Amino acid sequence: MAKKEDTVSLIDTFAEFKENRNIDRATLVSVLEESFRSVIAKMFGSDENYDVIVNPDKGDFEIYRNRTVVADEEVHDSNREIPLTEARKIDKDYELGEEVSESVDFARDFGRRAILTLRQTLASKLLELEHDSLYNKYKDKVGQVVSAEVYQVWKKEMLLVDDEGNELLLPKTEQIPGDFYRKGEAARAVVLRVDNTTGCPKIILSRTSPVFLQRLLEAEVPEIHEGQIVIRRAARIPGERAKIAVESFDERIDPVGACVGVKGSRVHGIVRELHGENIDVIAYTANPQLFITRALSPARVNSVKLNEAERKAEVYLDPDQVSLAIGKSGMNIKLASMLTEYTIDVFREIGGDGENDDVYLDEFAGDIDPWIIEELKKIGMVTAKDVLGTPRETLITRADLEEETVDEVLRILREEFEE
């Protein structure tokens, strides 16, 4: 027989499940009933002849067992059948074949083992419910900005908690260089994805995703929120620089001016949030040549030659525009390529006055490793004379090449002109 503390334990289990969990009433009733039936089925092989009534408002429950009245000597299943003699002790009017419904004291009639099983079942169901609730809540928030409190900072990731105590992860790889948070501070990020491969959802946040920049811009620019302006593309080098392409559905609205604001007023807050990340806003166009030209701003482009099959573009500029097109550490051309989804190569257009005997570095691909040529092009060295006219030490430092490699390149290029 179950002891008094077993009954108390059962009541506490029910109360804890009812009061401390953020689940709706219908789900609460369903899960509790399912848990009771699971225990009954384990004990008797079936729960079909039991009625379980859960009263979440009162914080209690009722269980009734239904048995058929049979002759005393014909009882084959005591769980489903009740002897006539025993039935008439309950009510003297019972007859053979009638159904007797009796209230069951779970703790007293089923015992301590059943109570332990119930607690374990409820705990398992509760954990499953919490996981489902978390997954369903955040799968619909992918791509949205959330604000959460920093709970713990580790070397490779940061743990945050939302208003409901749900745990969110911000990996180091998704943090902007310069991000520094202390426990208790609020952090904003976009929901990148929800991993649920093991049944235990992991909410992954990001501050480096281009989507984060888009959402911040949407919050600052009413015309985007109202649908008058749409963000077509976005590319970022987090914490350094970003390019974003916008288009207006209203000819009266300048999409670039509306997004930037007077003296950059609409992007100031975003730049601070992104630790000084410079934001270039350009007007989107479906014309790829024009789009590439705009994406390479502030450089002035003379012409663009496309290879649609390989998604490559050759861009020709005046010599003094090459460094602008490439940008510091190749940042401008990299962002332009990301934004337009074309691999962009820049070439300086060489006019007369003795410059027409220059040779593009790409023509030396058979003698110089392609990766070396690419490194030289990244720092604005497009032709042989570009390289030969640059001090050896500068080539070593800016292109980050070994001395022997630079010397070999210079030798090959000099031989071309000596011939």
pLDDT per residue over 255-277, tens digit each? Answer: 999 999 888 888 898 999 999 99
Q: How confident is the model at residue 418, as a pLDDT?
A: 67
Lowest-pLDDT range of 67-71, 112-116, 189-193: 112-116
Lowest-pLDDT range of 12-26, 31-45, 78-92, 129-143: 12-26
Residue 192 lies in a domain: yes
Give the H or E element holding residue 160: strand 157-161
> For position 321, which CATH number holds?
3.30.300.20
What distance in Å separates the CA atoms of residue 47 and residue 79, rounded to the nearest whole number? 10
The domain containing residue 244 runs over which residues?
209-284
Write the DSSP symbol of residue 108.
Answer: I
What distance in Å separates the CA atoms of residue 295 and residue 283, rounded to the nearest whole number? 9
Q: Report residue 225's pLDDT band, with 50, 70 and 90 as the boundaries.
A: confident
Q: Quick one: 11 and 84 in the same domain?
A: yes
Q: Quick one: 336 and 389 in the same domain?
A: no
Q: How confident is the model at residue 14, as a pLDDT?
A: 56
Q: Quick one: 122 and 20 in the same domain?
A: yes
Q: What are 283-342's pLDDT values in tens digits?
A: 999 999 999 999 999 998 989 999 999 999 999 988 888 888 988 888 999 999 999 999
Q: How confident is the model at residue 57, as a pLDDT?
A: 65
User: Is residue 180's pLDDT more than 60?
Assistant: yes
> Residues of the chain with pLDDT > 70: what percent?
89
* Partners of 69 in beta bridges: 82
Residue 141 lies in a domain: no
Q: Quick one: 248 and 166 in the same domain?
A: no
Give the H or E element holding residue 218: helix 210-220
Q: Quick one: 73 and 19 in the same domain?
A: yes
How many domains does the chain fold into?
A: 5
Residue 359 lies in a domain: yes
Q: Quick one: 371 and 345 in the same domain?
A: no
- Tell me the three state secondary structure of residue 186: strand
What distance in Å separates the CA atoms of residue 347 and residue 244, rounded to the nearest whole number? 24
Q: What are 352-405's pLDDT values in tens digits?
A: 444 446 777 877 877 888 888 888 888 878 888 888 888 888 888 888 888 999
Q: Quick one: 294 and 279 in the same domain?
A: no
Given 116, 136, 156, the domain boundary residue is: 136
**Going along 56-133, which residue ranges are E strands?**
60-70, 81-83, 99-104
Rg (CA), the chain: 36
Q: How confident is the model at residue 37, as a pLDDT?
A: 86
What distance in Å separates the CA atoms of residue 92 and residue 62, rounded to the nearest whole number? 24
Q: Amino acid identity of 220?
A: E
Using CA atoms, how far residue 316 sits from 281, 302, 313, 348, 389, in Å, is 23, 6, 10, 6, 20
Give the H or E element holding residue 38: helix 25-44
Q: How confident is the model at residue 333, as a pLDDT?
A: 94
Q: For 144-162, what is the mean pLDDT?
A: 94
Q: Quick one: 199 and 280 in the same domain?
A: no
What distance in Å separates the CA atoms of residue 159 and residue 137, rounded to the nearest whole number? 18
Q: Please give the mean pLDDT across all residues of the chain.
A: 85
> For position 377, which CATH number holds?
1.10.150.20
